[in-house]
Amino acid sequence: STPDPFIQILPKVELHVHLEGTLTPSLRFALAQRNNLPLHSARLNKTFTSLPDLESAYNLLQPRSIKGVGLSAFFEAYYGGMEVLQSEQDFHDLGIEYFKRAKQMGVVYCEVMFDVQAHTRRGVEIGVLMRGLESARREADELGVKVNYIMCFLRDLSPEDAMMHYEMALPYREMIVGIGLDSNEYGRPPLLFDEVYKRAREDGFKLTCHCDVTQKDTHEHIRQVACELGGTGADRIDHGLDAAEAPELVEIIKIKRTGMTLCPWAYVRHHKEENVFGYVRRLFDAGVLVNISSDSPAYVESNWVVDNLMLLKIKGGFTDDEIVKVQFNAVDICWAPKSLKAEMR
C-alpha cells in the first residue's frame, strides 16, 4: 500500500526492526546465486529455482493463508532465509538495502536488531557479520540515515551461550547501543537471562526484551522486564501489547517511562483479540511512551514502518497529531546521542 502524503513526509524513527527480517525475496535470491546456494524449504519440501517461485513461498508463510500455521512457521522461514548470508559483503548488502529503503520512507533514525547467534551457529564468524554491518552503517550515515545496532540473544538457546556471545561481541562494543532478547519465548522467561542483562547494564548498554503477544505467562514476562530485568527493569519492552489487559502493569510502565515498541501488522494476524487497536489505544491514551515499528517487515506480508503507521491511522483511528506524538515518543525513548536527540526534537 502507498502511505498517505502526511505519513510519507513526516520524519520517522524506527526502533524495532530485525535486520534479518528485512531480507526480501529478491535479495535472498540474488545472494543465493552469488554464493551458489540452493534455496530449499524443509517445511514445504520444495526447492526454489526462480524469484517468482520464492516470492510465492513468502506468501504461503502468511498465517491466515494456512490454517494452524503460526509463529513456528515464521521462525522457520526467518532462520531459513538468512542461510544465504555468508560474507561480509552479504551483511553489508542486507544492511544497505534496508537503509536505502528507510531513507525513501523518510526514516531519519533507526535502531536495528541483529541475531548474532543465528549466524555464528551456521559457522559465520562474528567479525564477518560485524564488519559488514558497520560498513553498511557508515554508508547509511552518508545518506542521512542514522543507525544504531541492538544485539539480540536467542532465548531458545542457553543463558550461557548468550553470555559467551556477549563477551565475543565486546571488541565491537562501539557499534552496539543496547542488548535485546528474541526468538521463541515459550517457557523462556526474561529473568532466565538476568546475568547477561546485569552485566550489560554495568557495562553501559541499554536494555530491551521481547514480550510477544498472547505468549504463555505474558503478563509475568512483561512484569519481569519492566520491574526486574538487569536489576531494576529494562529501558524498553519490545511488543508487550498484552500489558493493556493489566492496569497495574500499565501504571508501572507509565511511571517508569519504559518505552514500548509496537508492530501492529504483526498482531492483526494472530492476536486472540480481534481489535488489537483497542489495546494500542489503551496504552497510548494512558500516557505510555508507545512507538510504532515494523519488526520483520519482509516476512509480515511485506509491511514496512510506513505501512504500520497507515494501519494505525486507518484501523486504529489515530489522527495525524497522534502519529506525530508517536514519533516524539520514539525520540524520547530512543538511544541516540544527546545531540542527535536534540536535533530530532
Q: Is residue 295 at the binding interface for Zn ion, with CB under 5 A as the rule?
A: yes
> Given the rule CB under 6 A, which residues bind ligand ADE?
18, 21, 78, 182-183, 210, 212, 266, 295-296
Rounded Cα distance between 213 and 264, Å, is 11
Cα 326–Cα 145–Cα 104 angle in degrees, nearest 5: 80
Identify whether the C-beta of residue 151 lies closer than 8 Å to the C-beta of residue 169.
Answer: yes
Output the smallest distance, CB 226 to ligand ADE, in A. 18
Rounded Cα distance between 38 and 253, Å, is 46
Output the smallest distance, CB 337 to ligand ADE, in A. 26
For the stretch 240-245, contacts whose Cβ atoms lie closer than 8 Å and that sit 24 or more positions apart, written own/partner, are 240/211, 241/213, 241/267, 241/271, 241/276, 241/279, 241/280, 241/283, 242/211, 242/213, 242/214, 242/215, 242/218, 242/279, 243/219, 243/283, 243/288, 244/278, 244/279, 244/280, 244/282, 244/283, 245/219, 245/279
Output the smallest distance, CB 332 to ligand ADE, in A. 23
Output the smallest distance, CB 308 to ligand ADE, in A. 13
Q: Is 21 or 132 the residue whose CB approaches ligand ADE more closely?
A: 21
Output the smallest distance, CB 25 to ligand ADE, in A. 17
Q: Is residue 14 at the binding interface for Zn ion, with CB under 5 A as the rule?
A: no
Identify whether the C-beta of residue 276 lies closer than 8 Å to the C-beta of residue 241.
Answer: yes
Q: Is 29 or 114 the residue whose CB approaches Zn ion more closely?
A: 114
Q: Is 90 or 295 the residue whose CB approaches ligand ADE more closely?
A: 295
Q: Is residue 111 at the binding interface for Zn ion, with CB under 5 A as the rule?
A: no
Q: Which residue is nearest to ligand ADE (CB)?
A: 182
Output the smallest distance, CB 212 to ligand ADE, in A. 5
Q: Is 88 or 235 the residue whose CB approaches Zn ion more closely?
A: 235
Rounded Cα distance between 76 and 303, Å, is 19
Q: Is 86 or 261 the residue whose CB approaches Zn ion more closely?
A: 261
Question: Which of Zn ion, ligand ADE, none does residue 183 bind (CB under 5 to 8 Å by kind)?
Answer: ligand ADE
Which residue stretch of 40-48, 88-96, 135-143, 293-301 sits at the interface with Zn ion (rule: CB under 5 A)? 293-301
Reduce the DSSP state of residue 49 to 3 states and report it. coil
Q: Is residue 212 at the binding interface for Zn ion, with CB under 5 A as the rule?
A: no
SS (H, E, C) 281-303: HHHHHCCCCEEECCECHHHCCCC
Q: Is 108 or 234 the residue whose CB approaches ligand ADE more closely?
A: 234
C-alpha cell belonging to residue 316 = 486504529
Residue numbers at the binding site for Zn ion (CB under 5 A): 295
